[in-house]
Amino acid sequence: MSDRRAVALVLLSAAGFGSSAVFAKAAYASGVNPSTMLALRFVIAAMLLLPLVWLGGWRLPRGRLLAGYMLMGLMYTAQSQGYFNALMYASSGLCGMLLYVYPVLVTILALALGWEKLDRRMLVLMALAIAGMAITLGGKLQGQPIGIALALMAAGVYAVYILFGNSLSKSRENIHPLAACVVILGTAGLSNTAIALWQGVALPGTPTGWLAVSAIALFSTAIAIAAFFAGVAQIGAAKASIISTFEPVITMAFGVTMLKETVSGTQLLGGAMVLAAVVLLAQRPAPKAAAMPGVQASA
């Protein structure tokens, strides 16, 4: 595979994750609630990826490693619940941008845990990201405070998820990332199903709603994960993680073109500052989504 094709696959993955918010809004319009949609999303995606794992001859994790990836599935449940509930109170572009501060939060947590040392360059990038957040949140927003809080909570949970996944990836057991993802997505599917049963199942009431849920499961999850891993295998995780910063841009573009959402100049400036900080932070050796990128912040 050429590098150009690998880059295209990573961009396809970013498009998949970035478009999930648009599909979610369409699903909500058909009467489905977030928990039911997420249950369908993760169960279908796990079932789609399982044959790939079987055909590849990759064994599923066992023992403590299995428990660790199941715990990641529960973390991903919390992250996805926060993000997709945030979409009910804020625009897709705002939610996507807020969620994508997770690399900055990963860095903050790594510093707090003593895994990284603070230098002048990192301090400047952190200040740039925080300033970008402040500018964005201080401008004219299409969102209620609860939506902003839920999106930021999702980013925080995802940052913990990334660091935990990074530690699991150092295991001596040779577990293929797709096999680990099947466990994570399967656990997320079961836990979201339990939440949906507790809250009350609300299935899509229209063919458009079912199409939107299917698109989230197929394009925004299964295909996005497979495409990302295929790209990483060729160009490496570091470069792929930088290319993936295109994801919130796609979310915002879809929101403007398909959902008729508006974006102010202030939001664009603040978002650009955050993305610049994220790209530059991704260019240094650090714990990031490279360990377990298959469930990248979508999202």
Express as a percent the part of the chain with pLDDT over 90: 37
29 within domain boundaries: yes
Q: What is the pLDDT of residue 98?
A: 85
Task: Classify residue 170: in a domain, yes or no.
Answer: yes
Answer yes or no: is 44 within a domain. yes
The predicted-structure confidence for 23-44, as pLDDT tens digits, reads as follows 999 999 999 999 999 999 999 9
Residue 249 corresponds to which amino acid? V
Name the one residue in this structure whose structure tokens are 């999202």.
299
Helices (H), 87-176: 92-99, 102-112, 120-138, 145-168
Helix axes 92-99, 247-258, angle to 10 degrees: 170
Distance, CA of 149 to CA of 192 (rounded, Å): 21
| pLDDT at position 100 over 90 | no
pLDDT per residue as tens digits for the range 240-282:
777 777 788 888 888 888 877 777 777 778 878 888 887 787 6
The residue behind tokens 């990573």 is: 10
pLDDT at 287 over 50: no
Quick one: residue 239, left, alpha or beta (phi over 0 = left, psi -120 to 50 = alpha)?
A: alpha
pLDDT of residue 141: 55
Question: What's the farthest any 2 CA atoms get from each other in the chain?
Answer: 54
Domain span at residue 186 reads 1-283
Please check whether residue 294 lies inside any domain of the structure. no
Residue 1 lies in a domain: yes
Angle between helices 20-29 and 247-258 (to 10 degrees): 40
Query: Residue 294 above 50 pLDDT?
Result: no
pLDDT for residue 177: 85
pLDDT of residue 245: 74
- Residue 112's Cβ-count burial label (10 Å; 0-12, 13-18, 19+) is exposed
| Residue 131 phi, psi dihedral angles, 5° rounding | -65, -40
The tens digit of pLDDT for each residue in 212-246 reads 999 999 999 999 988 888 887 777 766 777 777 77
Give SS3 for 283.
coil
Q: What are phi and psi of 116, to 5 degrees?
A: -135, 160
Q: What is the mean pLDDT of residues 76-96?
A: 91
Residue 143 maps to a domain: yes
Does position 288 have pLDDT exceeding 80, yes or no? no
Residue 112 lies in a domain: yes
Q: How many residues does the chain have?
A: 299
pLDDT at 1: 63
pLDDT at 91: 85
Helix ranges, 169-223 (H):
177-199, 207-217
Q: What is the pLDDT of residue 219?
A: 94
* CB-side neighbour CA atoms (13 Å) of 33: 12
Of 92, 95, 79, the residue nearest 154 (C-alpha): 79
Q: How many distinct structural domains can be found in the chain?
A: 1
Query: What average pLDDT does the segment 193-204 reach?
Result: 94
Q: Sign of the CA dihedral 160, 140, 244, 216? A: positive
Is 51 part of a structural domain of the chain? yes
135 pLDDT tier (thresholds 50, 70, 90): confident
pLDDT score, position 243 = 78
Q: Among residues 8, 11, 31, which one has the least CA distance to residue 19?
A: 11
Q: What whole-number distance in Å separates Cα of residue 79 and Cα of residue 82?
A: 5
